[in-house]
Chains A and B, each alone.
Chain A
Amino acid sequence: MRRRLFLQTAAAAAASSKTPSPGSEWRVYGGDDGASRYSPLKRINRTNVSRLRVAWVHRTGDAMERPATAIECTPIVVDGVMYLTTCQLKVRALDPRTGETKWTFDPLKNSRSRRSPGVNRGVTFWRQGNDKRIFATVQDMLYSIDAVTGELDRKFGSAGVVDLKENFDHDMTGLSFKHTSPPVVFDDLVITGGGGGEGPYPEAPGHIRGYDARTGKRRWIFHTIPKPGEFGHDTWEGDSWKRAGGTNCWAGMSVDLRRGIVFAGIGSPSFDFYGGDRKGANLFGNCVLALNARTGERVWHFQTVHHDTWDYDLPAQPALLTIRKDGKPLDVVAQVTKQGFLFVFERATGRPVFEIEERPVPKADIDGEELWPTQPMPVKPPPLSRQGFRKEDITDISPEAHKYVSAIWDKASAGALFTPLRKSGTLIHPGFRGGPLWGGLAYDPERNLAFVGSDEWTNRVILKDADPNDGFRYALVDRAPVTDPEGYPAIRPPWGHMTAVDMDKGDFRWRVVNGEFPELTRRGIPKTGTPSHGGAICTAGGLVIKAGTFDKMIRAFDSDTGAVLWEHKLNQGGFATPCTYEAGGRQYVVIAAGGGKDGSKASDEIVAFSL
């Protein structure tokens, strides 16, 4: 008896001191280096998820109501510690079993400006030997933080910090720079994207850089707007490459560790609604870009929108998956787009897995513009959102709503995807937040299914002749979402979906309306779904977990059917992608419920669920 007790105690001690296995933690922002957002954990599964309860709530303590802060962070959990960013972009370490704070590092301490702090989607862990570092890109700085103490690593950059505006091969005078997604790491390199905005004024480009993870010294740079002599430079007419900006990877990258390739989805060039002063295809705007992670050299690229004038940034990490195609494993890159496409490429070569057609699109409808005559459209999978806004798409939730939106539609230029912009107003659907957005996709390798959340937002762009002193031709008057008089989307419901895509056939396995406006349901309108923020994750427990809808719910869907097996109303919207991990023998699901978007109240809660 005594011997058995000893053995049990020893086993328990060994278990508690054992380093957690990689699959039991959420060590990377995207779940793994390839951003598949999949966890092999299954303690929480279809049979018991209905018993999921709040285990702990961590209040970050720095929410602000007006202007509203938000939390887009997905916490990572490494070696039994959780790391996250807060409402005002502090980096914090927590005990993942209790939510208790271990340390906080405030990158903006003593320098917090009265500008928007921006948002941030998380941090990156890196280790070499016994050294553990957290890399955080906050606004325009890259920080190297000791993962144990929360202190800056003074040997990195300038006393622990690299100014991302420097060493950028571009005159940054008067330009702003930001990066809202965590960097990626490969061997002893930390690789960052980010850049300027996409407005009509001069903006920073989005060159990608690899830094020595120990010293912060720049090892390589890839110019996303190629310089003279570089591949793709001739896709920018004249000197337009000098002035154009944007073309940045704001949604984060993914890494094929075995092949040594880093993948980035690139945003639109600036100005993102008029390209008459940057004629050409504008590489590497809107490209899926594969770079040699060691050198930054281009391996391959695919441009998903030529000469973009619709703000169709690539809005999510390229997801590196090993799908089963025709009975064989195939390493692919899967890229969701704002316009609702899911492009799938062979990872090593960029060859399309499903055929992509270059289809003719309308000519420009505004003086000075020269649109590209075709745009790439995958034959499969089907679009994840409706594309374009036709008269029959106008909302029908009430006669008043229909009449109001009809008046807007009648005055605007509207029609199929890639309807050319007109000064007096153009409806763009899907709008600037998709379709899918930065939540990307989640992939279940057992089921060979990719799960994608997608929205149905419409934006209207109105331009006008700019002031002669502005230095550009057209100014932006309006780019707001188009809604009915009550604030609901202008297009006929549904307004939000969760979709499971069969990656072998390229078909939808299931598709369900996601989210609800209860007050509309009470008016007898079939469940409309709502737009959402943040992405889904999936688990070996047969679950797809997603929050982000306007009804403040976090839900677990059955991976096989899309049926909602569990839902919980958060105090404010969980406008982030959740994570899941095991700690202390329990599996947790954690979501940042920071609200603060679309007029909702800001909050500061990191909420953990467990059985």
Chain B
Amino acid sequence: MSRASVVIVAAAVLALWAQKPAPPQVEEQLPKAPPEQPIPFDHKKHVATGLKCVDCHPIKDPGFQAGLPKESTCMACHVAIRKESPHIQKLAALAKAKDPVPWARIYQLPDYVWFSHASHVKDAGFSCDTCHGPVADREVLFKEKPTNMYSCMQCHARHKAGNGCDFCHNSQ
């Protein structure tokens, strides 16, 4: 099978998967090990340089998502810093090709959850580590805080935010 065929088949499988409901959820079991990333990224080291979370994860309107940095953003520094590293060379190649780094997502909510980073961070003033843990202290990032419905609802109850279904879902 040619490479193009493999890509087409893989895309078709992904497309079909996207049409189907998500596999069943059970009480969230946090992973015991961090996922393998295409390029190692040390949050602790980057935060130590003075970077803020939103520098790399901007919350743009309408504010539901916190973004990932463009590869060109990374290369603004890494054009000079550690440019000999094979990881940085891999990053540079992706940036040149304008291909995104295929990061393994640590936190991801289903698309039927209307979670707004803006309302939690900008409006309510929560810090990122409320939901993501002490990222600034982590050399390797892994999921250490649950983001299931119960954990969300408990937090909402503690802070007297709404807990009706329609608060976070397009419910009936």
Contact = CB atoms under 8 A, between A and B. Distances in A.
| Interface majority SS (helix, strand, loop, mixed), chain B | loop
A52 B114 CA distance: 38
A201 B23 CA distance: 26
B23 to A, nearest CB: 6
A67 B172 contact: no
A477 B150 CA distance: 6
B3 interface: no
Contacts of A139: 166
B171 A408 contact: no
A72 B166 CA distance: 15
Interface string B130-154: 0000000000000000000110011
Interface stretch (A109-117, A143-151, A348-356, A364-372): A109-117
Interface string B144-172: 00000110011001001011111111111
B149 A476 contact: yes
Nearest to B26: A478
A601 interface: yes
Interface residues of B, number: 42
A197 B170 contact: no
A600 B22 CA distance: 11
Given A199-B164, A462-B27, A467-B154, A600 B172 contact: no
A394 interface: no
Nearest to A477: B27
A197 B164 contact: yes
B22 A599 contact: yes
Interface string A93-122: 000000000000000000011111111000
B24 A408 contact: yes
A175 interface: yes
B113 interface: yes
Contacts of B167: 115-116, 176
A478 B20 contact: no
B168 to A, nearest CB: 6
Contacts of A153: none
A519 B27 CA distance: 31
Given A116-B114, A250-B172, A550-B19, A176 B26 contact: no
Interface string B7-19: 0000000001111
B111 A114 contact: no
A480 B22 contact: yes
Given A180-B172, A467-B154, A599 B19 contact: yes
A67 B171 contact: no
B24 A483 contact: yes
A194 B30 CA distance: 37
Contacts of A196: 164
Interface in A23-73: 64-70
B116 A598 contact: no
A67 B64 contact: yes
A89 to B, nearest CB: 10
Interface in B78-110: none
Given A119-B170, A174-B160, A176-B166, A114 B21 contact: no
Contact of B170 (A116, A464, A481, A599): A116
Nearest to B120: A114
B50 interface: no
A488 interface: yes
A329 B164 CA distance: 44
A114 B165 CA distance: 15
B20 A115 contact: no
A475 B171 contact: no
B65 to A, nearest CB: 7
Contacts of A180: 171-172
A129 interface: no
A598 B167 CA distance: 19
A487 interface: yes
A63 B81 CA distance: 41
A485 interface: yes
Contacts of B65: 66
A342 B15 CA distance: 36
Contact of A114 (B64, B113, B150, B172): B64
Contacts of B19: 550, 598-600
Contacts of B63: 114
B114 A115 contact: yes
B172 A251 contact: yes
B18 A600 contact: yes
Interface string A310-323: 00010100000000
B170 A114 contact: no
Contacts of A315: 172
A203 interface: yes
A174 B161 CA distance: 7
A486 B150 contact: no
Contacts of A175: 162, 164
A460 B24 contact: yes
A380 B22 CA distance: 35
B37 interface: no
B166 A598 contact: no
B50 to A, nearest CB: 29
B118 to A, nearest CB: 6
Contacts of A119: 170-172
B154 A67 contact: no
A115 B25 CA distance: 23
Given A119-B172, A178-B164, 10 more contacts: A67-B64, A117-B170, A175-B162, A462-B27, A475-B153, A478-B26, A481-B24, A483-B22, A598-B20, A599-B21
24 contacts: A65-B111, A68-B111, A114-B63, A114-B114, A118-B171, A119-B170, A177-B164, A178-B164, A197-B164, A197-B165, A199-B164, A201-B163, A251-B172, A460-B24, A475-B150, A478-B25, A478-B27, A480-B22, A483-B24, A550-B20, A598-B20, A599-B18, A600-B18, A601-B18
